[in-house]
A and B are shown apart, each in its own frame.
Chain A
Amino acid sequence: MTTENFLPLDGYRVAEITVVWAGPHVTQLLGEWGAEVIRVEPTTTIQPYTRGAERIINTADQENTAKLGILAGGINPETTPGLDPWNRNSSFNSHARNKKSMSCDIMTPEGREAFLRLIEKVDVLVENNVPMTIERAKITYEQLKEINPKLIMLRMPAFGLSGPYKNYRAFGTHVEGMIGHHWLRGYPDGTPDETGDAFTADALAGVMGAFAVTSALVHREITGEGQQIEMPLAESFLPALGEWILDYTMNNRVADPQGNLHREHAPHSIYPTKGEDSWIAIDCTNDEEFNSLCITLNAHDLLNDERFKSLAKRKLYEQELNDALARYTQEWDNDQLFHLLQSVSVCAGSVHNEKQLLESPQLRARDFFEELEIEGVGTHTYPGIMTKWENTPNQIRSSPPKLGEHNEEIYIELLEYTEKQYTDLVNKGLVGTDYSEEVVPRTWE
């Protein structure tokens, strides 16, 4: 590599057998920074919660689902499944840019052969399946390093490759329960069933996995050694809760649900503003900020209230303070109040939904979002790359791959299958660009 402006991972090839959210996020980041990422995905069975193929619903039901605000499983453009909804799933398409798709079922002998040929040609393999799946497929690191001794293999099951929960199956939201985050982020006066799902574990594991793989590549460049990286979702999250864990191990204190409370700051919460489901976050750390807040809100009675005269007192009468502030904030438009408070140096920010995020002047000014035209999907705006490098401009290089879109290129050019061998695999139904009706019944039409 000699050209100045290459991306850091240019020239590395990454294979992935990933499902759901966390694994695909690792390879999203590696792909964004230059790696050639090849998704190994079967057309003979459904990879769970990845392209949304296990629960395709018709337009009317999609419309109802979207109206209820249920978007986590992904949704199709204009809430219409079309002929190939698995190529048009919002959740898949939000991470799969810059990736290639190769259809291959590693559980079949033919698929296994192709996969092992691929392993010879890659630098990195990323997988996040339950450990028994990888063992059953006989593709553990011990087995693969015989074929490629320099391979870096990232394994990211929910709970690890050992221990009593080794083969426990969990989404990010379940992992968060098992490490204490669900409990911690609950309403202080509520119960865990009010808290709702969060996939924070997937988000943290994604960036952590990309960091781990890249660190292992640095190490390999210097020492020539490959490596297995074992990174359970649960364990990659634990350090983000470090101070709460120490509060138990040092002070014997079990953390209570925190909601919007802060240990020391008051006011510190989410306050109602004008309009449906409209809110603002306000965080004051000292008297000066509290005074500016009250003056801006025209809440002079709060300024003169003995109960709110110092930070310590505001913390003591926090509930009364928050109730009183809410009566003022609900008269305001949240964005108007947000900018006004910032102009007097009060730390505040609107609670923005996705529509408002897409309109953010700050993100727009920094060119965060990108427009992509995808065949069969249309032209839409996508979240871009979360880190800017001053001297290395970067943007999305290619659209999310359709199922099996790169089969020919990968089987014939990369893995050196003959035309005939390739056609045989296609004729056997092992390689293709579609799920058969047996795998995905066309019930939505």
Chain B
Amino acid sequence: MQQLLEGLRVLELSNNVAGPFTGKLLAEYGADVVKIEPLEGDSARHQGPYKDDIPNVETSLLFLHLNTNKKSITLNFESENAVDITKKFIDKTDIVIESFAPGQMENWGLSYEALAKDHEDLIMASITPFGQSGPWKDYKASEIVLQALGGPLHANGSAFREPIKSGGNIAQYHTGIATAFACIAARLRIIRGGRGDHIDQSIYEAQAGFRDRRTSFTTGTSYTGYVAKRQPPGARPASGPRMTTDGYANIFASGSRRFPAALDLIGRPDLKDHPDAKKQPHLFSQEFASELEGSWMAWLINRDKKTAIAETQEIGLLGGAIYTTKDLIEDEHYRSREVWDTIDHPVAGSAAYTGRQILLSETSRKKPLRAPLLGEHNNEIYAEIGFTKKDIDEMKKNGII
């Protein structure tokens, strides 16, 4: 059965996280993605951790993860031939993903206007920290800075401490998905008779449109003038992360419809008749709150986190255990759903990767392919656009590829 994006040709001129994640998504669901790397490789190849902590352009975990199912070729953009070569690729490309600083592609003669001149169906997505225009367009940014300015970072963490960022490269991953959506929507429009377009994706704007509280909070502020604040730990009695015998479980008991059932479960049915039992947790009286919290903690501390979740799910409470990566990978649920792909790599060896996000009823998944070695597909791909073996050797010798 045909893959969702089969036949789509993508050129990835992008490094680090956001653009490569866009490319990874398109590749995962069937597009043919060719990644053009500078001679030293994608910057993600130079970031730790590496397999066995030994720096090697082929074993950066970030790179190995972000570039499955792609092909890699190299090209020196500062070389004279780079513009002509890129234009040759454009003849065979539906979507270009790039993440250079605003104006850089233009300086090379590779602006959207230049590339789309003879290809009105071209889609180009440009991913930058702040977008192609505006007073901050040339500002420097990184994950923590983008989360600080654009995301809900100020509301993450404890009221008594400094705010903390979300894990890893969340803002960039989110932007990668948003860009993939835009690219495929643009493709759909072409299929339906429209023209190509230049997608200007700012990571900052993706954060400002982030459904991790950001849009909801901003609308709340716009409605009331108040801003969201970090809450004190344990501010909601019998709700939120609490200790169990083997770690933490985060269960939503008070403030939910099933709160009375939760009181039965922990052996405190008497509290159901208290006038506070129907209130929102932050409006509980001190006396009710401490009575409830004591019984709740006593119940939890006698159970391991998975049992606490299983028993509370049984009565319909929302909740989840707080897993480490070890807990996650060993968990039977994810294993039974085959979420882990075992992928072999000539330098990094064999390991379990996270891959698909979706399962399709009518389309079976293709076998995932490992990330490419740097320039692994030079011969194959340059030959496809008309270079002979001799030309390719020549370009290698001259430091072009």
Q: A256's closest neighbor in chain B, by CB?
A: B324
B325–A180 touching, CB < 8 Å: yes
Query: 1/0 per position for A58-90, CB-CB distance to B under 8 A?
Result: 000110111111111011111100000000001
* CB <8 Å contact, A229 and B336: no
Q: Report whether A192 and B351 are in contact in the complex, using a CB–CB cutoff of 8 Å.
A: no
B296 interface residue per 8 A CB criterion: no
Query: Which residues 209-261 in A have Cβ within 8 Å of B in the complex?
Result: 210-212, 214-219, 221-223, 225-231, 234-236, 238-251, 253-255, 258-260
A159 within 8 A of B: yes
Q: Given A76-B223, A386-B178, A242–B65 Cβ distance below 8 Å? A: yes
B residues less than 8 Å from A249 (CB atoms): 329, 340, 351-353
Residue B142, interface by CB 8 Å? yes
Q: Mark B176-212, 1 if CB is under 8 A from A, else 0.
A: 0111111011111101111101111110111011111
Contact B166 A200 (CB under 8 A): yes
With A281-B148, A384-B209 given, is the CB distance from A163 to B186 under 8 Å?
no
**Residue among B64, B321, B334 making CB contact with A246, cutoff 8 Å:** B64
Instruction: Please name all residues of chain A whose beta carbon is closer than 8 Å to the beta carbon of B48 when the two chains form the complex.
Output: 263-264
CB-CB under 8 A from B76, the residues of chain A are none
Contact between chains at A178 and B320 (CB < 8 Å) = yes
**Residue contact A351 to B184, C-beta cutoff 8 Å:** no
Tell me the nearest residue of chain B to A283, going by C-beta: B142
User: With an 8 A cutoff between CB atoms, is A126 at the interface?
Assistant: no
Instruction: Tell me whether A358 is interfacial, beta carbon within 8 Å.
Output: yes
Partner of B324 from A180, A198, A204, A352 at Cβ < 8 Å:
A180
Q: Which of A1, A202, A227, A365 contacts B363 (CB 8 A)?
A: A227
What is the chain B residue whose CB lies nearest that of A345?
A: B140
| Interface assignment of B268: CB less than 8 Å from any CB of chain A | no
Say yes or no for B164: interface residue by CB 8 A criterion: yes
For B238-265 the 0/1 string (1 means CB < 8 A from A) is 0011110000111110010100000000
Does the CB pair B200–A390 fall under 8 Å?
A: yes
* Residues of B contacting A236 in the complex (Cβ-Cβ under 8 angstroms): 357-358
Q: Complex: how many Å from CA A264 to CA B142?
A: 13
Which of B181, B195, B324 gathers most chain A CB within 10 Å? B181
**With an 8 A cutoff between CB atoms, is A328 at the interface?**
no
B320 contacts A214, CB within 8 Å?
Answer: no
Taking a contact as CB atoms under 8 Å apart, the answer to whether A248 and B326 are in contact is: yes
Are B170 and A200 in contact (CB-based, < 8 A)?
A: yes
* B interface size (C-beta, 8 A): 161
Tell whether, in the assembled complex, residue B164 and residue A386 are in contact, meaning their CB atoms are under 8 Å apart: no
Evaluate contact between A6 and B336: CB separation under 8 angstroms. no
B214 CB, min distance to chain A CBs, angstroms: 7
Q: Contact at B329–A8, with CB atoms within 8 Å?
A: no
What is the minimal beta-carbon distance from B4 to any residue of chain A, in angstroms? Answer: 4
Once A211-B25, A243-B62 are accepted as A-B contacts, the answer to whether A391 and B198 lie under 8 Å apart by CB is yes
Given A203-B174, A390-B198, answer yes or no on A185-B167 (Cβ-Cβ < 8 Å): yes
Q: List 23 A-B contacts (CB under 8 A).
A: A78-B223, A90-B216, A169-B317, A174-B250, A174-B252, A174-B318, A185-B167, A190-B158, A195-B241, A219-B5, A230-B361, A240-B174, A241-B168, A249-B340, A250-B51, A265-B142, A270-B164, A283-B144, A352-B150, A362-B137, A365-B135, A366-B202, A381-B222
Q: Is A208 engaged at the interface, CB distance under 8 Å to the other chain? A: yes
Asked if A111 is at the interface (CB within 8 A of a chain B CB), the reply is no
CB distance from A298 to the nearest CB of B (A): 21
- In the bound assembly, the distance between CA atoms of A263 and B149 in angstroms comes to 21
Q: Which residues from B are CB-within-8-Å of A25?
A: 211
Within 8 A of B (CB), among A167-186: 167-186
Measured in the bound complex, the distance between the Cα atoms of B168 and A71 in whole Å is 25
Q: Would A362 and B353 be within 8 Å (CB), given that A8-B186, A383-B209, A383-B219 are in contact?
A: no
Nearest CB in chain B to that of A326: its residue:
B162
Stretch of B77-85, B226-234, B376-384, B390-398 lying at the A interface? B226-234
